[in-house]
Amino acid sequence: MARRAELIFDARNSVGESPVWRADEQALYWVDIPARKLCRWDARSLVVNSWLAPEMLACIAPLPSAGGWIAGMETGLFTLTQQPDGQLGSVRLAPVTHTQPGMRFNDGRCDRQGRFLAGTMVMNMAVAANAGCLYSYQKNSGLHTLLEGIITPNGMAFSPDGQTMYLSDSHPSVQRVWAFDYDPATGTPSNRRVFIDMNLFPGRPDGAAVDSDGCYWICGNDAGLVHRFTPSGKLDYSLAVPVKKPAMCAFGGAGLDTLFVTSIRPDGVDLSDQPLAGGLFAIHTTVRGLPEPALGAL
């Protein structure tokens, strides 16, 4: 089991997402999407730094080189490097032609072989437009479409052996997590089936992580919970965080046994009952996570 969630940093992020642990630095990185910020928390010094991106920055995965990132933003995929002046140097790897205006990338990460998979969404969730797509990028073949017809793609994760892909649609009208058979050799998902119907559990399915036991951890947005599901889709247990909108979780720490959780601080809402909304939290667990794969050279 696990202990209670503790505040690591009162980040006050509008939309804190995409936490990634870099073991070589003993540091956690994450993004604040509308603020266009990449943030870094150093586990040894406890110092927090941030860098500004030229566009909304939604999801990141490490590059093999120290300090570099691949990122899904508004107009495509970019490589990012941290600059001394607090800016992010950016080079566009692959432009994206969105299916309609007002879209950006959302959730994404690398598969176990180093392909970067990321989904797009219409930023105005009220229109419930199923215009989102799931894309895959690899250096030798560029960007190509894997799936279409998604409203709010989220919950991207892979089983320890890389042969199962998880993907959710967190829009209130859907609230489901799917599992796919995933071919590690080709990066092709197939045999889509419902893994978790989150309409039966508290919270909308937001960002996710997989532990070394193959269990799937998903943030229950609006419910202040992080759920752990077994590989068969059975709820194992739920952990509370002191905010209503946990957004994404990731394992890190020296033993990969700390679950870091980012969160959302909504505008125009009375936050007197959740003053730490938008903060970064840590839950020390008795299970271990898996190292986050870097972009490969497939």
Terminal CA-CA length for the chain: 38
Work out the burial of residue 140: count CB atoms within 10 Å of its CB; fewer than 13 is exposed, 13-18 middle, 19 or more buried: exposed
- 153, two tokens: 């793609």
Instruction: Please tell me the distance from the alpha carbon of residue 153 to that of residue 38, in angstroms, as a whole number.
Output: 21
- The CA distance from 221 to 236, in Å, is 18
206 is a catalytic site residue: yes
The residue behind tokens 């073991």 is 23
Residue 210 to residues 53, 104, 112, 200, 218: CA-CA distances in angstroms? 28, 25, 12, 21, 9
CA distance 61 to 72: 9
- Rounded CA-CA distance 237/285 in Å is 12
Contact call for residues 82 and 88 (beta carbons, < 8 A): yes
Q: Which helix (H) or strand (E) holds 206?
A: strand 204-210
- The residue annotated as part of the active site, out of 32, 111, 206, 257, is 206
Residue 234, token pair as written in the block: 């059975």
Which residues participate in catalysis according to the annotation?
Answer: 206
